[in-house]
Structure 1
Amino acid sequence: MFSIKSLHKIIFAISFTALFVVWQWYFVKSVFNFDFLARPILADGFCKDCNVILISLDNLRAKSLLCYGYEKNTAPNLCSFAGKSYLFKNVYTPSSKTQDSHFSIFTGLYPISHGMTVPFTSVLDSNIKTLPQILASNGYTTLFSGPKNDPHLPLDRGFERGFSYKDKGDEPRYWMDNMKKNNLLNRKFFAFLHTYRVHEPYIPQKENINKFYPGGPLIYVTRNDLCKKAYIKLLSQYPDRFKNLKVLNDDYCNIYRDYNTKYAATWNVEIESYLARLDPYWDAFNNLDFLVKKEYTHALYATSIYEMDLELKKFFNELENNKLLDKTIVVITADHGEEFFEHGGHSHAANLYNESIQVPLIIYIPKSKSQIVEKLASSVDIMPTILSILGIEAPEKITGIDLFSSKENKFVLAQHVTANLETIITLKWKLILNGDEKELFDLTSDPEEQIDLSIKNTNISNDLENKLNNYLFRLPKYNSIKSEPFPTWIDEEQRKKLIETGYF
């Protein structure tokens, strides 16, 4: 039998050993960030020298896809492809603005860090290395296929850096042609493929609308209708610019293309034509009952997703037919979502509710399993994740993490810098700051963000606000300078509309 003295020695030894293990555990965690103790989902360099395709489905919100919980199958081919991939369920874009979000995807930095928050004037700091630049320096041939004269994907202010080829091709049906034209299929390549196919104004084929709105279209606005109304409006404002142009075969959209080509040196042409088309589009639904308008405009959006998905099916088949899926990582995401009056507005105006910032993220990796991933993620994580899969070192000062490592985001952020909106998001809580105003939502019990708990739970609100402010303070800040004062030809009315549409 043990004596009391021996028992004390044994207890002391066990206690000392336990304390030493705990101390060592925390020491290792603090010094080495714990990664080597945990088994990552994928090891660095899992797909070394693989090709990379990064697809941006502009304006596609996660909650309008069946594979993200929507009750209708708007995109069967996209969700089928997701079934062969890693599907990340809780992904937030860092902004509801196109330019801010795309630069975050390319740099692994939040908007407040990369500074590309004002269209037309911001120029990316030369010290920031973008994903195409890094891949080009590692032997990749790189392709941009998207809109060529788009101030929100500016190919003259930093977004073009690192691309070997830049081709116009903003719909999936053009992507493979551009890849073949530039001989990508015979090289190690990176292709950034963008589409505005589901962006407003939503003008799907008339015969497809009844798939998502039984009984067919209530109101059908054609693109030519919008172009005609915009033409009449702009003709009254700028008669000299239009006096020598003629409308052929009642095609007012061709007048637009001629007009934009002739005056391509001034971006106000693009802004005026875009806003002039959007006003009559949304005005067309004003006489509908509110709930009918909400359901019907969402149905038009859903139909646009469905039609884009048919084009994606052809592109996926082309990838398979060209045996690219055996050696190509495919990343599919969106820059922001879209609101359909869930919080009183439409489009993706200056708000940070989930319908505007929760986006899909689907990552296909050859010879890897498919999996639904619940971990919290941000679009800033896309760049370091791609680089890690390829076994390429990411820049030191980026904010994003490798989603296939053991690292976790305790929270993610989103900002609308020009509207002074900020949000901090965990898997459970979401705090939105609008100046001095606060909104707090419990995403587990209120995923639609309808019940503000900020007054009831002041401790949680204050804690999240402190974390947000401390984190923003510590983030790196780059000098993405303004190339010139904001264009004088944008008057106050236009500026207001740009803010309302989320672009300024």
Structure 2
Amino acid sequence: MLGGIVAGGALALADYGALWLWLSGWDLRLDALWRLGALLLAAGAALGALGAALDHVATRLPPRLRALPFALAAAPALAALVQAALGTRLLGGLGRPAALALHAGAQLGLVGALALLAHTGGPRRPLPRRLALASLLVALVLLTKLDQRLFPRLYAPFHAALAAAAFLAAAGALVLAAREWPRLARAATPRRAAAAGAVLALLLALDLATLPGSHDVRVALQDPHASTTRSLMHALAPLVRPAPPRAAPIDAGAASARWAEGPALPGAHLVLVTIDALRADHLGAYGDRRELTPAMDALAGRGLLFERAYAPAPHSSHSLAGLMLGVHVQPRLRQGLSLPRTTLTARLNDAGYHTAGFYPDAIFHTDGDALAPLRERELDFVRRERRPFDAPRLTDAVLREADRVAARGEPPTFFWVHYFDVHEPYRADELGDTPALRYASEVARVDRALARLLEGLEARLERPLVIGLSADHGEELRDHGGVYHGSTLYEEQVRVPLLLVAPGLAPRRVTEPVELIDLGPSLLALVGVAPGPRMEGADLRVAAAGGGLPGRARAALEDQRMWVEGDDKLIVDLRRGTLELYDLAADPGERRSRADAEPALAEALHARVRGWLASLERGDPRERVLALARAGDRHAAGALAERVAREGPRPEWVRLLGELGDDAALETLRAQRAEGRAGAELAIARGRLGDRAVRPALERLLRAETPTLRWRAAAALRALGERPPASALLLGARRASSLEERRAFVTALGESEDPRATGALLALLPDLRLRVSVIEALGARGDRRAQPALARLARGTSRQDVRGALDAALPRLQ
């Protein structure tokens, strides 16, 4: 046990050494240190205790069989560990029992491997033994650094595997050190080990009991710099209940868009330019001094520049759909609400505009099924170009359309141009070969194309131009340890440039927070067209006169919600119940959360977030609990369980309790009795919460007439560690509403013995959001029929995550 504790201590020091400079103030650093130490030392103690128990069994066997218990215990667990390392999305969407089982299995595998090393003797001569010890220490350093630097914030199971391997390296080094220096082994008496284990158990219990009240520490322990601790926190998340909110929700939702006083140019051409993944801080007008964007900077000098504009989500699909619809898309989809039908384009079509859109299909990468109506209607454009052109060719295509417009007598036209070049992989290298310099090179390249676009439109068209320029999201360049986008709500991923230029619109820099969904109604207002009835964005023309803006901005990502008001920014994790509060004026890099230091302000903004989510449904105020539960707010589980106990198990209420994953609701659900759909939902919810008593009922539901019940029953059985039939898994992979669940079903198909699973996985391969998961599942199956399709994909892809998955899968299909 002491050996495991020392291994945990070594990893704790490695994590803390990488993390402490990112923490503000010695109070937070010391608090994080003892909690981090308690977690990793306790994990090491558990590892060592398990190894000691297996060793006790082994010593009672003949010498030749002493490695057998460890081998039997290690074989399946090490297989799970390898699968986690190769299948980097294995845990994404799995239920809590499956996730914990895999994590525990990986630890058991490490114990087995360590004990095998001990009982097979290892290197017997001093020199080879010392070389092996040095190799393990080098491996420990490399594994820790890989865990911290490779795909931070992405692929949780991959990082769990690296953390487990680091434990193995540390523990193996201790075994060899004990053989090299026997005095170390003699110091680890059973009494000392038991005492140390008892102290660590108390520390861990104290840590978990008091952790919910410390938002800043909980956020720090899940920072990617502390990679091993982050993996443990993910595994322990169900044991850390969120602290209850201290303030009631405040109705801070957005009303429908309203016109303000300002210039209007009926019949003017509209030009909307969006640049994928463009950070605001890479424009000279926003403070960059490298002169990357002379065209954008010149445009900014001609109209309104919004210094703090925010995308509604850090990825294209929800952000651009929100721009076109004038609403926040992700919270609506999460709460099961319908999206408006009327787009910015449709309003202009009705007003007699010719509409032409130039965008790639990749913008529907996320939630493609939910956004299918928009994709199928092609966002209501009369003319569209959806091929993935680079910036020069895309500019040529737009100018050709402008020539056609001029030849037809120049009807008022709406041009939407979406440049994709700045999105990874960054190919341009004129400024250098690092990712950051390649990114900057792409920004400069698009700016040159924009200069030619604007010059060409002004030369070809006589009507005045109303121009809007923005981005769908930003891009992280390791600002918070991560890369790319779609993983956080920090400024680098959600703050975007926003420029609005029109004749009669006086140039001005606007400091109030605004939202990308404000841009659609504002463009309509500038050409005298009324916004859609369900558009929620503000009319930004009022900024020219210096007032009238809402003064807040919101964004959403999975279980996280953001609220910016003045200089204060709050990020809420609805599932974990953590709050991050930043002063953007004093701390623009968001390095020092003030949630614990200023709890009143944090809770006031938290109440606004909950009020916003509740207000989206605009129904009976008593339905606020349901609205928050639909949003995934785990704080709503208690009130919802009380309502079920009081009014009975309505199907939706029961389903939401299962999805919120609060174990405290299980007793309420067990006390309910129902037939029909409500009874089916009760069984599924109890299964999701780990109640094995409903297994027979779930197996009966696999034969239900309703496909939705079949695949949801399969998901509940997966949460119980069972293997449902492939037919139900196929349904889930195709029909599950959330991306996380679909990935979990894809993984299950990879483990299935049903020969039809390979064909189903190949049919899912075109889905960009599932592609990595599908490749990993095909690799896990080892079915050679998948090799030609994956080989073709390998020749045509440049995405790093896809290539990494292919490199791991293809050798297994030879």
TM-score by length of 2: 0.42
- Asked if 1:474 is matched to 2:615, the reply is yes
User: How far apart are the structure 2 equivalents of 1:89 and 1:184?
Assistant: 39
Query: 1:177 aligns to what?
Result: 400
Query: 2:457 aligns to what?
Result: 319
Counterpart residue identity of residue 474, structure 1: S
Residues 408 and 143 of structure 1: is their aligned pair in 2 closer, same or farther, counting only changes over 3 Å? same
- Asked if 1:494 is matched to 2:773, the reply is yes
User: How far apart are the structure 1 equivalents of 2:330 and 2:449?
Assistant: 35
Q: Secondary structure at the match of 1:157?
A: helix
Query: 1:19 aligns to what?
Result: none
How far does residue 156 in structure 1 lie from its aligned partner after superposition?
5.2
- Asked if 1:463 is matched to 2:604, the reply is yes
How far does residue 496 in structure 1 lie from its aligned partner after superposition?
11
- Kept in 1, the 8 Å contact 2:340–2:534? The answer is no
Query: 1:53 aligns to what?
Result: 271
Residues 351 and 148 of structure 1: is their aligned pair in 2 closer, same or farther, counting only changes over 3 Å? closer
Counterpart residue identity of residue 84, structure 1: R
For residues 93-104 of structure 1, what are the structure 2 equivalents within 5 Å?
93-104=311-322
Moved over 6 A (4+): 495-498
Residue deviations 1:430-458, cap 9 Å, x none? 01112312211001100111111111111
Q: Secondary structure at the match of 1:301?
A: helix
How far does residue 303 in structure 1 lie from its aligned partner after superposition?
1.0
- Kept in 1, the 8 Å contact 2:304–2:501? The answer is yes
User: How far apart are the structure 2 equivalents of 1:185 and 1:311?
Assistant: 26
- Kept in 2, the 8 Å contact 1:432–1:438? The answer is yes
Counterpart residue identity of residue 358, structure 1: R
User: How far apart are the structure 2 equivalents of 1:186 and 1:359?
Assistant: 32
User: How far apart are the structure 2 equivalents of 1:345 and 1:401?
Assistant: 32
User: How far apart are the structure 2 equivalents of 1:493 and 1:391?
Assistant: 46
User: How far apart are the structure 2 equivalents of 1:331 and 1:392?
Assistant: 16
- Asked if 1:452 is matched to 2:672, the reply is no
How far does residue 167 in structure 1 lie from its aligned partner after superposition?
1.5
Residues 476 and 75 of structure 1: is their aligned pair in 2 closer, same or farther, counting only changes over 3 Å? farther
Match of 1:298 among 436, 446, 452: 436
Counterpart residue identity of residue 71, structure 1: R
Q: Secondary structure at the match of 1:187?
A: coil
For residues 232-251 of structure 1, what are the structure 2 equivalents within 5 Å?
none
Residue deviations 1:447-485, cap 9 Å, x none? 111111111111111010001101111124899xx9961
Residues 484 and 394 of structure 1: is their aligned pair in 2 closer, same or farther, counting only changes over 3 Å? farther
How far does residue 398 in structure 1 lie from its aligned partner after superposition?
2.3
Match of 1:341 among 452, 456, 478: 478
How far does residue 126 in structure 1 lie from its aligned partner after superposition?
7.2
Residue deviations 1:288-314, cap 9 Å, x none? xxxxxxxx3211111111111111111
User: How far apart are the structure 2 equivalents of 1:467 and 1:376?
Assistant: 15
Query: 1:395 aligns to what?
Result: 532
Counterpart residue identity of residue 316, structure 1: L
For residues 356-367 of structure 1, what are the structure 2 equivalents within 5 Å?
356-367=493-504
User: How far apart are the structure 1 equivalents of 2:362 and 2:312?
Assistant: 24
User: How far apart are the structure 2 equivalents of 1:398 and 1:496?
Assistant: 40
Counterpart residue identity of residue 417, structure 2: L
Q: Secondary structure at the match of 2:346?
A: helix
Counterpart residue identity of residue 80, structure 1: A
User: How far apart are the structure 2 equivalents of 1:354 and 1:442?
Assistant: 12
Residues 448 and 127 of structure 1: is their aligned pair in 2 closer, same or farther, counting only changes over 3 Å? closer
User: How far apart are the structure 2 equivalents of 1:383 and 1:340?
Assistant: 29
Counterpart residue identity of residue 458, structure 1: P
User: How far apart are the structure 2 equivalents of 1:113 and 1:68?
Assistant: 29
Work out the percentage of aligned pairs sharing the same amino acid.
22
- Kept in 2, the 8 Å contact 1:103–1:114? The answer is no
How far does residue 86 in structure 1 lie from its aligned partner after superposition?
1.4
* Count of residues in Structure 1 that have an aligned counterpart in Structure 2: 367
User: How far apart are the structure 2 equivalents of 1:397 and 1:323?
Assistant: 33
Q: Secondary structure at the match of 2:453?
A: helix
Unaligned runs of 5+ in 2: 1-255, 619-626, 631-731, 737-741, 747-760, 765-769, 777-798, 803-814
How far does residue 391 in structure 1 lie from its aligned partner after superposition?
1.9
Unaligned runs of 5+ in 1: 1-32, 210-215, 218-295
Counterpart residue identity of residue 196, structure 1: F
How far does residue 114 in structure 1 lie from its aligned partner after superposition?
5.0
Match of 1:141 among 341, 344, 354: 354
User: How far apart are the structure 2 equivalents of 1:349 and 1:158?
Assistant: 21
Q: Which has the higher strand share?
A: 1
Larger-Rg structure: 2
Q: Which has the higher helix share?
A: 2
RMSD of aligned Cα (Å): 3.4
User: How far apart are the structure 2 equivalents of 1:383 and 1:127?
Assistant: 14
- Kept in 1, the 8 Å contact 2:353–2:414? The answer is yes
- Kept in 1, the 8 Å contact 2:325–2:340? The answer is no
Higher relative contact order (CA 8 A, sep 6+): 1
- Asked if 1:131 is matched to 2:351, the reply is no
Counterpart residue identity of residue 197, structure 1: D
For residues 421-440 of structure 1, what are the structure 2 equivalents within 5 Å?
421-434=560-573, 435-440=576-581
How far does residue 41 in structure 1 lie from its aligned partner after superposition?
6.5
How far does residue 161 in structure 1 lie from its aligned partner after superposition?
3.6
Match of 1:158 among 374, 381, 387: 374
Residue deviations 1:340-372, cap 9 Å, x none? 111110101310000000001111102433222
Residues 151 and 49 of structure 1: is their aligned pair in 2 closer, same or farther, counting only changes over 3 Å? same
User: How far apart are the structure 2 equivalents of 1:343 and 1:354?
Assistant: 10
User: How far apart are the structure 1 equivalents of 2:482 and 2:520?
Assistant: 32
Match of 2:413 among 189, 198, 223: 189
Query: 2:510 aligns to what?
Result: 373
Residues 163 and 318 of structure 1: is their aligned pair in 2 closer, same or farther, counting only changes over 3 Å? same
TM-score by length of 1: 0.66
Residues 41 and 82 of structure 1: is their aligned pair in 2 closer, same or farther, counting only changes over 3 Å? farther
Residues 179 and 449 of structure 1: is their aligned pair in 2 closer, same or farther, counting only changes over 3 Å? same
Residue deviations 1:220-255, cap 9 Å, x none? xxxxxxxxxxxxxxxxxxxxxxxxxxxxxxxxxxxx
Query: 1:85 aligns to what?
Result: 303
How far does residue 95 in structure 1 lie from its aligned partner after superposition?
0.3
- Asked if 1:485 is matched to 2:703, the reply is no
User: How far apart are the structure 2 equivalents of 1:495 and 1:341?
Assistant: 28
User: How far apart are the structure 2 equivalents of 1:459 and 1:199?
Assistant: 39
Query: 2:262 aligns to what?
Result: 42
Query: 2:288 aligns to what?
Result: 70
- Kept in 2, the 8 Å contact 1:113–1:476? The answer is no
